[in-house]
Structure 1
Amino acid sequence: MSVEAIAVDPVFVTVVLPCLDEEDSVGECVDEALAALDLAGYRGEVVVVDNNSTDRSVEGAAAHGARVVHEGRPGYGRALRTGIESASGEIVVMADADLTYDLSKIALLVGPIADGEADIVVGERLTEAPSSTMPFLHRRVGTPMLTMLVRRAAAGLNVTDSQSGYRAFRRDAILSLGLRSTGMEFASEMLILAGQARLRVQETSTGYRARTGISKLNTFSDGWRHVRQILLLAPHLMLVTPGLVLLAIGAGLEVVGLVDPAGLAVGSLRWQPSFISGIALILGVQAL
């Protein structure tokens, strides 16, 4: 007896775009996302989360085929949480409405999840992004530092760009994490809790384009929000600085002991730094 193949509906994907005064770019982002979904053979929708825009972003998004939901409480993270909760798809792609993320590459993010290989796929920006699209401090200092902290807080999560806002994920998996962030620190919170929950996280290069319009990012205040969130979720990281200091002290005293094996003269006595150096090195390593 022959067995006929059973047709399986293609996966349903929701693309969530938080939006605050992006009338010059949101329509093009919607078009690019819908075209990418169609090309990949996915059923889907684009949800634009209006976060109190004062321009014609809402009208532009709707005219290009997006479903618009409103989140009156300010904040990038709050807008994304509302969009994820409102999503109809079992897979959600989050991005920005300013053309920085290449939405034609949606399939690169969705594919591993649709195939059951990952729960989250992050679109890594740094490899392909030209220097003109990202400030030096963000690219060489802020992002690497925050990524290092996120990796440690997330039990060694293997990502190189924790601050990318372009990522896809299983909606149910992310909702189960109980995310609470309201600002830019949402990106860090998601990955830390995902790592602690042992979700499968992958990363793929998607590049980064020049922004259309005025950036809403505040380098120092948003950076501090990330650090504070990381430390709240992984308070053991507060031991990193003391650990580094102890390592430096231990190494320095070890060098002194090697240079002068007889010890340091302290009045009429001679002090052997090797004992203290060993303790400092051990404590430093344990703290890190």
Structure 2
Amino acid sequence: MNNPEPDRTVELTILMPCLNEAETLAVCITKAQGFLARSGVTGEVLVSDNGSTDGSREIATSLGARVSHAPQRGYGAALINGIETARGTYIIMADADDSYDFENLEPFVERLRAGADLVMGNRFKGGIAPGAMPPLHKYLGNPVLSTIGQLFFRPNVRDFHCGLRGFNAARMRELDLQTTGMEFASEMVVKASLARYRIEEVPTTLKKDGRSRPPHLRSWHDGWRHLRFLFLFAPRWLFVYPGLVAFLLGSVAVAVLAFGGIQIGVVGFDVTTMVYASALCVIGYQSLLFFWLTKLYATQEGFLPTSPRFRSIVAKWTAERGLLIGLGLFVLGIVIAIVQVFRWGNIDFGQQNAAEAVRIALPSALAIMLGFQTMMMSFFSGVLTIPRRDTRASAVIES
């Protein structure tokens, strides 16, 4: 990534992503320039244009703002382009729809100067004007996503998707943000939290935007993309916790019922329960394997940070060890099956007690399935951990 050296005369870049914002862009630029003039902060207004066809670029240029063309479409793509081309030490970003308060950015600048890496606005503390936020977003979307984000990542942010936020430009570039759509807003907070950045929050206001056209945001579609992103960056919540519960419940039930049915009050549990418990055990085990593979891939590609503990586990858990463990489980299942065949032969392959036959067959089948899955996972993890040349590093050197 060929990032510009910060211009020591530019402390702050006010960044606006733009796609056909001719109706409101001028007033946003004027307010931002007014803040810079009034506060004495040395800065620039940067418009990262996403392919506007309504004259937005010309409006920005005529007002003295700097315009940078974002070649790829998308909210995140426009902001990534702006972050890469910004000249300021700090960046404050907000939409160019005149809904955010560009005239009162002092709290953001003060926190950034004091050492914060990321400063989030909080619209619920600062005030939301009537009609500024749809009820679906205000009472469901934002509270739910913010609560999930806080639970998973602990960023101490109560308005996870506020579009007005400031950050240290150099520190943000280090995160290598990737998403090009609306989930970019989540990626910034999630990666900053995972990197243990100093994240602070200040009240800000939100008013009804000045556009006559519908917003680019699609409530359900983009809300799902944010939720999916949060889960993918928290594989423990997506895979480990539900998988561990399912695996333990299933395996304990199978182990207990393998010795005979049990009665709890008026309810009896026997081989039918064993069948469903086996399925629960397999589902839980698959979930745990998916966690391991997801974590390996995400850390190899730089999506998730790697801890010393995880690197130590990866070094110890070689594909060969996984294959041996899987093979052991597989052989155990085969041995149990062979024993059952011999027992069947002792009655001249005649009629068996169905319940007792199932009671033995299920642990055998379970060991065979879990062993085979373990071997396949070990092969795949071996592929993911093959040492490779770091092309990203060489690209940076070449640029």
Task: Tell me the CA shift for residue 131 of structure 1.
Answer: 3.7
Q: How does 1:104-253 map onto structure 2 within 5 Å?
A: 104-116=103-115, 118-127=116-125, 128-154=127-153, 156-213=154-211, 214=213, 215-238=215-238, 242=242
Cα 1:265–1:231, aligned 2, differ >3 Å: closer, same or farther? same
CA distance in 1, matches of 2:182, 2:219: 10
CA distance in 2, matches of 1:142, 1:49: 27
Q: Which amino acid aligns with 1:229?
A: F
CA distance in 1, matches of 2:146, 2:197: 17
CA distance in 2, matches of 1:198, 1:78: 24
What is the Cα-based RMSD across aligned positions, in Å? 2.5
TM normalised by structure 1 equals 0.79
Name the SS for the 2:124 alignment partner. Answer: coil
Q: Which amino acid aligns with 1:149?
A: I
Alignment match, 2:36: 37
Cα 1:175–1:267, aligned 2, differ >3 Å: closer, same or farther? closer
Give the number of the structure whose alpha-carbon radius of gyration is greater: 2
CA distance in 2, matches of 1:13, 1:107: 11
Q: Is there any run of 5+ residues in structure 2 with no aligned partner, and where?
A: 1-7, 250-263, 270-399
CA distance in 2, matches of 1:173, 1:202: 15
**Contact 2:16–2:48 (CA<8 Å) still a contact in 1?**
yes
**Contact 1:153–1:192 (CA<8 Å) still a contact in 2?**
no
CA distance in 2, matches of 1:74, 1:66: 21
CA offsets 1:171-212 (integer angstroms, 9 cap, x no match): 011000111010111111010111111111111111101112
Cα 1:168–1:138, aligned 2, differ >3 Å: closer, same or farther? same
CA distance in 2, matches of 1:266, 1:23: 70
Answer 1 or 2: which has greater strand percent: 1
CA distance in 1, matches of 2:265, 2:73: 61
- Overall identity of the aligned pairs, in %: 40
Name the SS for the 1:236 alignment partner. Answer: helix
Name the SS for the 1:161 alignment partner. Answer: coil
Task: Tell me the CA shift for residue 230 of structure 1.
Answer: 1.4
Name the SS for the 1:92 alignment partner. Answer: strand
Query: Taking CA–CA contacts closer than 8 Å with sequence separation of 6 or more, which of the two structures ends up with the larger relative contact order?
Result: 1
- After TM superposition, the structure 1 stretch with the greater mean CA deviation from structure 2, 92-101 or 64-73, is 64-73
CA offsets 1:198-236 (integer angstroms, 9 cap, x no match): 111111111101112121111111112112221221112
Q: Which amino acid aligns with 2:119?
A: V
TM superposition outliers: structure 1 runs of 4+ over 6 Å? none
Q: Which amino acid aligns with 2:188?
A: M
Q: Which amino acid aligns with 2:65?
A: A
CA offsets 1:26-81 (integer angstroms, 9 cap, x no match): 01101101111222211000010111111011111111111011113110000000
**Contact 1:77–1:181 (CA<8 Å) still a contact in 2?**
yes
Q: Is there any run of 5+ residues in structure 1 with no aligned partner, and where?
A: 1-8, 250-262, 269-288
Alignment match, 1:78: 77
CA offsets 1:108-138 (integer angstroms, 9 cap, x no match): 111111122x111111112300241100110
**Contact 1:48–1:69 (CA<8 Å) still a contact in 2?**
yes
Alignment match, 1:266: 267
Name the SS for the 1:46 alignment partner. Answer: strand
Cα 1:198–1:53, aligned 2, differ >3 Å: closer, same or farther? same
Alignment match, 2:95: 96
Name the SS for the 2:103 alignment partner. Answer: helix
Task: Tell me the CA shift for residue 86 of structure 1.
Answer: 0.5
**Contact 2:16–2:94 (CA<8 Å) still a contact in 1?**
yes
Q: Which amino acid aligns with 2:12?
A: V
Cα 1:241–1:219, aligned 2, differ >3 Å: closer, same or farther? farther
Task: Tell me the CA shift for residue 267 of structure 1.
Answer: 5.8
CA offsets 1:227-249 (integer angstroms, 9 cap, x no match): 22212211122159949x99xx9
Answer 1 or 2: which has greater helix percent: 2
Cα 1:242–1:72, aligned 2, differ >3 Å: closer, same or farther? same
CA distance in 1, matches of 2:143, 2:168: 26
CA distance in 1, matches of 2:37, 2:105: 11
Task: Tell me the CA shift for residue 152 of structure 1.
Answer: 2.8
Alignment match, 1:282: none
The count of corresponding residues between Structure 1 and Structure 2 is 246
